[in-house]
Amino acid sequence: MLQNIIPPRLKSVLAKRPQGSGGPWRKRALILCCLVVALFVIGHFSVRFIIWPQIEKSKASVEKLISARIGADVSMNDLRVSWTGIRPDFEIDGLRFNSPDKSKPLLEIEKIRGALSWNSFYHLAPYFHELYFEGAQIYVQRDLKGITSIAGIPIHGSSGDHGFENWLLDQDKIAVKNIQLFWTDNLNKKATTSIEIQNLDLNNGIRRHQALLQATTPWTDGPVGIKADFVHHLGGQAGDWRNWIGTISWDVADQLHPRR
């Protein structure tokens, strides 16, 4: 397909081997670099000025596209898009993942905003440079087979599947406030448990990951604070805790307990 785009004359130039001092080869390399830059600029401006502005005008189509991509019935009250620097931004009010029987949302977020990473276009999946949301209710469930689902979406197909954790640690920055998690464990036949997350900050680099969590759980008398600062092994899955090297500390009842 790429051969059909490149002009025949340019293909014949690139097919020749460098001779002599290498001057002609440098010229061919320069032409190739200019072609790549031109394609990147055309792609960037096409997304920025043609594709991205249409998203705000096509909320229903976006809902269908996201629903088909993640396997859930997604709806939203309002969607706004903009552009900052080289990244597309978005704001959503009233994002919901609806249950199959439409009785209640399995995920509901009052306000969410962020900036997409260009990895989204490579993976054809949501990857974020920044993601902020607050005022959410999220239902998490483990079924009789031991499969855990968040908002009705299974996150583990097998015991060695770390796809969700790998994706989470591949986002540049995530910050959330005032989140209520409802955990239902059908495997152990336990009643639904509510966990309140006051703050969660997650910052990820290429290998380094830093997290700060403040939450209230039914298993503690007061708030719980957790700090994590670690890297994962080169070549290992970032979401597999066995590949982590670093420190995790927690604060319960005014006591800080570091663990390596």
115: in domain: yes
Single pTM value for the model:
0.78
Residues 202 and 245 in one domain: yes
pLDDT digit string (tens) for 19-33? Answer: 554 568 888 888 889
Looking at residue 17, its pLDDT comes to: 52
The residue segments making up the domain with residue 138 are 75-259
Q: How far apart are CA 138 and CA 151, in angstroms?
A: 6
**Number of domains the chain contains:** 2
Count the Cβ atoms, other than its own, within 10 Å of residue 136.
19
Check whether 14 has a pLDDT greater than 80: no
Residues 79 and 28 in one domain: no
Residues 242 and 170 in one domain: yes
Looking at residue 2, its pLDDT comes to: 47
65 confidence band (pLDDT: 50, 70, 90): confident
Residues 16 and 111 in one domain: no
154: in domain: yes
Count the Cβ atoms, other than its own, within 10 Å of residue 166.
14
199: in domain: yes
Q: How far apart are CA 227 and CA 214, in angstroms?
A: 9
